[in-house]
Structure 1
Amino acid sequence: MELRHLRYFCVAAEELNMTRAAARLHMAQPPLTRQINQLESEIGARLFERGPRGLTLTAAGQFFHEHALQILEKVDTTVTATRRIARSHRELFGIGFVPSLFYGQLPLLVRGLRQKDDVELTLVELTSIQQIQALKAGRIDIGFGRLRIDDPEIEQEILFEEPLMVAMPHGHPLEGTTPSMAELAEYPLILFPATPRPSMADTVLGMFRRRGLKAKIAQEANEMQTALGLVVSDLGITLVPEQVKRQQRDGISYAYLAE
């Protein structure tokens, strides 16, 4: 599969007519039809239903169209950024970060670096363990994570420490209190990230284990924002770094732990 196949498909999905799609692509209709047929054969799914009134996207075709557009947009953005870097002769500097750090000091650091004339920044959202892999592969130059991961090839330094807080829905029985870990163990817990591990999820589970407690895991989420959305939906509580409190999300109350 090549990028041109994705472009052919997206134009055909927009026009829902092979003749009009071929005209937009400045090619004859039969070759375009063959390319679409080959794409369907390679994927192993029908992307279009052919009818007397033209084409309609199948459920698989709708899914593929949505993701093909994202891929093409990412490619176009990457090409544009590459050209900009080549013209500016700036040094490319990659920063990996966990999302919760953007509620604190990290935006100030990024703002300062962006003001430098000789640096082109790329920001990549990665978990702590993914940052280790990205540093080794040379995809980023520095990473800001929340876990110290033992690896002799990576230099790590603690910049600051902060407590964890309980995020709970408004009206929760623990609202307005300073709950203990034993009290938290009585309520459904939303854990994040689900993957990859080790992660903050293991840190949270370790806090319960060290006190001889077992967490009641109600749901696992890959993103912190998803976990907070589940809290608002009253599916459980979750533990988040203190900086997240600055977000002031509706429907959520925060409390410090007794420990």
Structure 2
Amino acid sequence: MSDQVITEVVGRTLRVTFNRPEARNAMTFEMYQKLAEAAAQVDADPQLRALVLRGAGGRAFVAGTDIAQFRGFTGEDGVAYEQRIDEVLGALATVDKPVIAVIDGHCVGGGLGIACCADVRIGSTASAFSVPIARTLGNTLSANTLRRLVRAFGEPRTASMLITARKVDAQEALASGFLTAVAEDLDAEAEALIDRVVSGAPLTQWAIKENLRRLAAGGPVDDADVIAKVYGSRDFSNAVEGFLTKTPVEWTGE
């Protein structure tokens, strides 16, 4: 099982590869646990600037949860399962550093839930997105997972995807804003995107993510602590001087 999720540090990124290509990277419960651990790992290491997610094999990002694990499920098991998925996706969605999903092929069910937690998503021309449970398992999504899809795709498109079990292709995902780019050469364009992200100002990226989370919670947002942390940082002070003196700035996240 240990090689079903490959975690490695590459430069200033933590790379997570879902590595069950023979099963289109369908997730086992242990794989979800490894993903949650990776989310904690990237935030714990000050040298890391981003978390990168992708699937092995070129046919799928993640083709949902391994269906064999649902055999014999009771209603109570279903509740526990959806609660665990909520926990894992919550851990991924609250990573302080940028999360990048590199999507080649099918991104289905639980895989789409994972992709929804990324801040930036790039797909191949063969990428396709669906939650076909109305025609396959006849199960459901938790309200929290549904909320993630609605935020990513909008309510009308989410409803049509789920009720008709239709696929969204790469171009529709791009037009909807779910994908940042659709790439012919996914590896090259993904690396260029990753380089652009990790060369950015870490505190700015953190502040944007944090305030987006607060906005999503609804109600008035008190972000004085976020603003004070960024404007009071050495990075900001050094960047102002660098801009005025036309000298390069090296971001430290402090």
Which bin holds the TM-score, normalised by the shorter protein?
under 0.3
Q: Which has the higher helix share?
A: 2
Q: TM-score, normalised by structure 2?
A: 0.24
Q: TM-score, normalised by structure 1?
A: 0.23
The structure number with the bigger radius of gyration is 1
